[in-house]
Amino acid sequence: MIRIENLTRIYDRTPVVNDVSLTVGAGQIAALVGTSGSGKTTLLRMINRLVEPTSGRIWIGETDAATIAPHLLRRRIGYAIQGHGLFPHRTVGQNIATVPRLLGWSAPEIAARVEELLHLFQLDPAQFRDRMPHELSGGQQQRVGVARALAARPEVLLMDEPFGALDPVIRARAQGDLREIQRRLGTTLVIVTHDMEEAVTLGDRIAVMDKGRLLQYGPPAEILTRPATDFVQALIGTGERPFRLLSLTRVADIREDGTCDGPAVSPESSLRDALAACLWHGRDCLPVEGGGIVTLTALRARAEGARAEAMATAGEGAQSKAPQTGGAAQ
Ligand SMILES: Nc1ncnc2c1ncn2[C@@H]1O[C@H](COP(=O)(O)OP(=O)(O)OP(=O)(O)O)[C@@H](O)[C@H]1O
């Protein structure tokens, strides 16, 4: 768990993070979104004390982060950044082993962990362990960067635009892999992203920042249907909302009995993906892996319901709710 209390960072008398409070539950993902310069990276880097707060507190579990030496704190907190930041003159295996080595793990323990992570990230150890970073594709480097951040089983993982450089297809896969790995390991994750789609797909909670302030912090469905301010509403884009809401629901939830032809969709895929598949294949019905069908009629009903909900709430949040200073905890 991460608890941030009234966190402020001032540069040149300007608060770039201004009295932000929020809690990320254990094993949850919080996505930080906002315009460029809104303070997302500064907030993230205060969690592992790469930037020292001007005031406020950060708790990692029961530990006040200010009471631990920064270099020791950073061994407990994984950190992955855009462009991966791999050490260019170290092999993939050595890169992943960085923190376990600093923590004094034994050589067999380190070797086993490197092996495990390479498997987890679908990189064959025999093929990749001894390669240098420049011998990998961008997507592979990115995966090694995330594997390195997870190597010492940190309770917390911080990610700053980790998938920013990836093309959309690889990016979607990387997000799926991350979600699965994060669930399996129970890591608490804070991710900075410019991509609202990524925030909705990955985040259990989304934090919307503007000019250093936390405007809203809540589950994706709440941000999409009840934006707290005009700014939040503009950021999520009214026209996009029905689709984004569709991406929150799984095919398994609207599966019907029956059979039909066409390529099967996974019960775990989102309604948005199922809608795209129906339209792409020109079908009004697709089979679901493991049995049952998903119909265009049901998908449209969901999209229209989501749209109606979004339209009903559009505007009302902006007028009725003042921006929350200090942010909402939870
Ligand atoms: N070391 C520093 N000294 C002075 N100002 C800084 C420093 N670091 C960041 N800032 C300023 O703080 C503000 C917030 O920066 P930050 O990088 O946290 O924003 P961001 O939301 O992550 O932006 P982006 O999305 O563009 O990465 C910016 O105006 C930036 O110029």
* Backbone dihedral angles phi then psi of residue 189, each to the nearest 5 degrees: -130, 135
**38 CB under 6 A from ligand 1?**
yes
Q: How far apart are CA 4 and CA 68, in angstroms?
A: 16
CA of 36 to the centre of ligand 1 (A): 8
pLDDT at 322: 37
Q: Please name the residue whose Cα sits nearest to atom 20 of ligand 1.
A: 37
Sheet with 29-34: list strands edge to edge: 77-81, 156-160, 188-192, 29-34, 205-210, 213-218
Please state the domain extents for the chain: 2-236, 240-313
* Residue 150 CA to its chain's centroid (Å): 15
Where on the phi/psi map is residue 57: left (φ > 0), alpha (ψ -120 to 50), or beta?
beta
Q: What is the total residue count of the chain? A: 330
**39 CB under 6 A from ligand 1?**
yes
**87 CB under 6 A from ligand 1?**
no
**Average pLDDT over the chain, rounded to whole?**
86
pLDDT at 318: 40
**292 CB under 6 A from ligand 1?**
no
Residues 6+ apart with CB under 8 A from 20: 4, 6, 7, 8, 39, 43, 56, 209, 212, 213, 214, 326, 327
Tokens of 325: 């200073």
pLDDT at 276: 83
Q: Please name the residue whose Cα sits nearest to atom 4 of ligand 1.
A: 11
pLDDT at 311: 64
What is the ipTM metric for this complex? 0.97
CA of 43 to the centre of ligand 1 (A): 10
Nearest atom (ligand 1) to Cα of 42:
18
Q: What is the largest CA-CA distance in the chain?
A: 65
Residue 313 bridge partners (DSSP): none
pLDDT at 326: 40
Q: Which residues of the chain have pLDDT under 50?
A: 315-330
Q: pLDDT tens across 185-222, in order?
A: 889 999 999 888 889 888 999 999 999 999 999 998 88
- Going from the C-alpha of 309 to that of each of 224, 238, 302, the distances in angstroms are 10, 11, 11
CA of 178 to the centre of ligand 1 (A): 26
pLDDT at 321: 38
Q: How far apart are CA 326 and CA 179, in angstroms?
A: 29
Question: What is the Cα Rg of the chain in Å?
Answer: 21
pLDDT at 239: 67
Q: Any idea which architecture 2-236 has in CATH?
A: 3-Layer(aba) Sandwich (3.40)
Say which CATH class 240-313 falls into.
alpha beta
pLDDT at 30: 97
3-state secondary structure 13-27: CEEEEEEEEEEECCC
pLDDT at 330: 41
Q: pLDDT tens across 147-174, in order?
A: 898 888 888 999 998 877 677 767 777 7
